[in-house]
Amino acid sequence: MRECAQARERAREMQIRTIMVPTDFSESAAQAFESALGLAKTFGAHIYLLHAYQLPVQLGVGEPVPLPQDFFDQLRKRAQQHVDEWIEKARAAGVEATGDVIQAIPGHAIAEVAERKNIDLIVMGTRGLTGLKHVVLGSVAERTVRLAHCPVMTVRLHDKEGS
């Protein structure tokens, strides 16, 4: 109990003006967004949404098949539409929000943009990759925690039964 009270006191002392919410538009990211909205209301903070995407890597044997530029344009346009929808949700909840869509490696981009924009807190979801997937793919959240200059709050996805 005493540790919780100390953590609450430290949180009150923090100056949180801008909260970054990196998103891949997954259920995990949506849950992190909801947590960030609550924090933004508490601190009177601005939410900055960021969707960083990496272009698909072509694997296979033989000559790669080039994808048309329209494919990449549509990918970016759709991502921007999702970011705009989340911005509207934040504003409807009384929280000022902005956002960007960038082509970059997510873990590195999140940390770099957070530093450049003087983000005070990053709130992001985690899917909890395990086993071989974690070894091979790593975790954007884990990479962000290692690279970010500011605190990173990860929000674990709860199942439908709330456990």
Smallest CA-to-CA distance from 121 within 52, 48, 53 is with 48
Domains of the chain listed by start with CATH number: 13-156 (3.40.50.620)
pLDDT tens, 92-125? 999 999 999 999 988 899 999 999 999 999 999 8
In this predicted model, what pLDDT tens digit does every residue of 20-67 receive, in sequence order? 999 989 888 999 999 999 999 999 999 999 999 887 655 556 666 677
Cα distance between residue 78 and residue 82, in whole Å: 6
Rounded CA separation 103/56 (Å): 11
Indicate the pTM of the whole model: 0.79
